[in-house]
Amino acid sequence: MGSFMSDITFKNPFPAGWQAVDQADAQAVVRFAAERFGSGLALASSFGLEDVVLIHLLTNVTEQPHIFALDTGRLPEETYECAERVRQHYGVEIEWYFPQASAVEELERTKGLFSFRASVENRKTCCGIRKVEPLKRALTGRAAWMTGQRRAQSITRAGLTVLEPDPAHDGIWKFNPLADWTLDEVWTYVREHAIPYNTLHDQGYPSIGCAPCTRAVQPGEDERAGRWWWEEPEHKECGLHSSPRSYRGNN
């Protein structure tokens, strides 16, 4: 493997056949992940456009997909409505994770309700409490997880690979089956398969997070311009996907 891997401890050996997966289409990647990791695989869903595509793909290859979501306490109502439509449409169970109440209470008592707009550090503190810590609990005991990240979404994701190690979560594996999809391709798939989706997408929200941290984008802006719009583009990650390097090395 590449030299940078020497300082990372992995929970599982790198999946056999990963080279083919890295070049495969999304359905093949999802099937590979489901067959290779079984109940050890979890799909993280924020019920954005990409995630509902992945739920559709996953339900095509397994009857009991493990899907989880992070309820930050500040999600738009439309996100909850989408989650419920998806749950009923596919007959799947969604495992919700919430931030620790004591941590949220302390944050809001000491820094107020909108401290995340004061600085990148404050915003990352809020994301850490509401997203990163619950994610760690959601992935405990898992062997791999799947996300809807795409390279075209932002400069912070331009180097994204289909399969990558995740040293931030005990060395489990992370699949990004839609890494090379464009937004138009995502929309085409959603429409062709009549997939339930978040209605905020029809109101100019290509990327949807917490309500106070998300706005509609303007013509010509990139897909994630509406996320933490007061920050510079290179800072626009919440900590869920902050793997320092991606892996395309050799075995």
Side chain identity at residue 59, one-letter code: T
Looking from the CA of 162 toward its CB, the CA atoms found within 13 Å total 21
Side chain identity at residue 199, one-letter code: T
CA separation for the pair 58, 31 (Å, rounded): 7
**Torsion angle, CA of 131/238/139/27, rounded to 10 degrees?**
120
E strand spans, 10-87: 41-44, 67-70
Question: Residue 246: which of 149, 181, 153 has the closest Cα?
Answer: 149
Q: What share of the chain is helix, strand, coil (3-state, %, to 5)?
A: 45, 10, 45
Backbone angles phi, psi at 236, to 5 degrees: -85, 65
**Torsion angle, CA of 131/52/61/246, rounded to 10 degrees?**
-50
CA separation for the pair 154, 22 (Å, rounded): 20
Q: Which residues are catalytic?
A: 238
